[in-house]
Amino acid sequence: MTSSADVVVVGGGIIGLSTAYYLAKLGYGKVVLVEKEMFLGTGSTGKCAGGVRAQFSTRINIEMSMKSEEMLVQFEEETGWPAVYDQVGYMFLLSDEQELAAFSRAMELQKSLGLEVDLIDPEDVAKIAPPVRTDDIIKATFCGDDGLADPNDLIQGYASAARKHNVDIITECEVTGLKTTGGEIKAVLTKSGEISTPLVVNAAGAYAKLISKMGGMDLQVEPVRRQIVTTGPLDYIPSSFPMVVDVKAGLYFHKESAGLLLGWADKDVQPGFDESVDPEYTDAIIMKALDRVPQLETAEIAKSWAGLYETTPDHHAIIGYAPEIKGFFNNTGYSGHGMMHAPAAGLVAAEIICGKQPSIDVSPLAPDRFAKGAMVEETNVI
């Protein structure tokens, strides 16, 4: 195994692969990526719902999404790998004045940054997403540039492009420790041996806190279980069916194969690494979905699975050097929107590491913001 590198990226999910690719593309010497599992993308990335949206409530999240959406459109040109990015749009159903006020405020900010997003009436909801019950909806927001991407395409695309740029991707290589001397990173310890390096990128997703701990650092990223259910074929779902979010219920659903994918963020789930499917959680998703799409009463359940969100206290990513140790860079904590932000996330992290001006000012996402009390709360979280 490689015994030295200019940088070791820990984690072969979408954030680690995007970062490794852009580091190599920008010419940052010898880039090594280590992944503990046998295959790439089997962590949160492989469990994700594929949603891509720029309808956030903070400037930084909107900018990360808009840049990433632009990059997704050019993904094949960039990586040589075709990737599904189906711009069917994202719709947020609003059922009271409070929700309307909050989403109207967010829309103002989104529009000021150039996003094309509209406030639509229940009749329009029924036209765009026919089986959705709208009798208790007062308005909805809709952005047609948002949509759905295939996480596996993105993993394969960044991995193949990274390899073409000579990134050494090593699977079944679990990081077990960090060697530091005088407050500086010296090496990464793995089950397959030691890799000496002056720089580590922590892209371990829901496990990022454990990697930081190996260097004696705390990182405010908690694993939180989230579940998904898919249905069998439904002949009333058009191919143009968008991502629909029922804000009141916390439910989201979009077309998946010939049916629907349904998800719900249970706010009562406590942090932990348990990824088993909880039948009560599955039932709660189905009940919420039946309430919003009554026609689902006769639908068959195809699959259900659970995965981990990598959640920070303010639901924003952590991008930047750890203040405690020289040579330790965090790119993690995407709090349920890491797939959609991965293109920009990898690019800006690589730009910062290479000493270039980042395409987006991600200073609000600095790791020390929690200690400084400078959090940037995202309210549009699902």
Ligand X SMILES: Cc1cc2nc3c(=O)[nH]c(=O)nc-3n(C[C@H](O)[C@H](O)[C@H](O)COP(=O)(O)OP(=O)(O)OC[C@H]3O[C@@H](n4cnc5c(N)ncnc54)[C@H](O)[C@@H]3O)c2cc1C
Among 107, 129, 200, 203, binds ligand X (CB under 6 A): 203
Q: Which residues contact 287 (CB under 8 A, 6 or more apart)?
A: none
Residue 205 Cβ vs ligand X, minimum distance, rounded to whole Å: 2
Q: 141 or 332, CB closer to ligand X?
A: 332
Q: What Rg, from alpha-carbon coordinates, does the chain have?
A: 21
Of 358, 363, 331, 324, whose CA–CA distance to 14 is shortest?
A: 331
CA distance to 16, 90, 106, 275, per residue, from 141 (Å): 32, 8, 10, 32
In the chain, what is the straight-line distance between the N-terminal and C-terminal CA atoms, in Å? 41
Check residue 367 for interaction with ligand X (CB under 6 A).
Answer: no
Q: 100 or 179, CB closer to ligand X?
A: 179
Residue numbers 278-337 binding ligand X by CB under 6 A: 307-310, 332, 334, 336-337
Other C-beta atoms lying within 10 Å of the C-beta of residue 8: 30
Q: 139 or 330, CB closer to ligand X?
A: 330
Give per-residue burial for 168-207: e unless 16+ CB within 10 Å, then b: bbbeebebeebbbeeeebebbebeeebbebebbbbbbbbb
Which residue stretch of 70-78, 283-291, 338-346, 347-355 sits at the interface with ligand X (rule: CB under 6 A)? 338-346
CA distance 262 to 186: 45
Check residue 206 for interaction with ligand X (CB under 6 A).
Answer: yes
Check residue 85 for interaction with ligand X (CB under 6 A).
Answer: no
Q: 64 or 132, CB closer to ligand X?
A: 64
Q: 68 or 95, CB closer to ligand X?
A: 68
| N residues, the chain | 382
Among 11, 147, 242, 327, binds ligand X (CB under 6 A): 11
Q: 16 or 122, CB closer to ligand X?
A: 16
Name beta bridge partners: 10.
Answer: 34, 202
Among 49, 72, 244, 299, binds ligand X (CB under 6 A): 49
CA distance 201 to 188: 11
Among 5, 7, 9, 10, binds ligand X (CB under 6 A): 10
- DSSP-derived 3-state class of residue 115: coil
Check residue 13 for interaction with ligand X (CB under 6 A).
Answer: yes
Check residue 48 for interaction with ligand X (CB under 6 A).
Answer: yes
Other C-beta atoms lying within 10 Å of the C-beta of residue 47: 19
Among 89, 147, 157, 205, binds ligand X (CB under 6 A): 205
Q: 16 or 327, CB closer to ligand X?
A: 16
Residue 287 Cβ vs ligand X, minimum distance, rounded to whole Å: 18
Residue 340 Cβ vs ligand X, minimum distance, rounded to whole Å: 3
Residue numbers 17-46 binding ligand X by CB under 6 A: 34-37, 42-45
Q: Which residues contact 327 (CB under 8 A, 6 or more apart)?
A: 184, 185, 197, 198, 199, 200
Residue 34 Cβ vs ligand X, minimum distance, rounded to whole Å: 5
Q: CA quadruple 24, 20, 337, 87: dihedral positive or negative? A: positive
Which residues contact ligand X (rule: CB under 6 A)?
10-16, 34-37, 42-45, 47-51, 174-175, 203-207, 226, 228, 307-310, 332, 334, 336-340
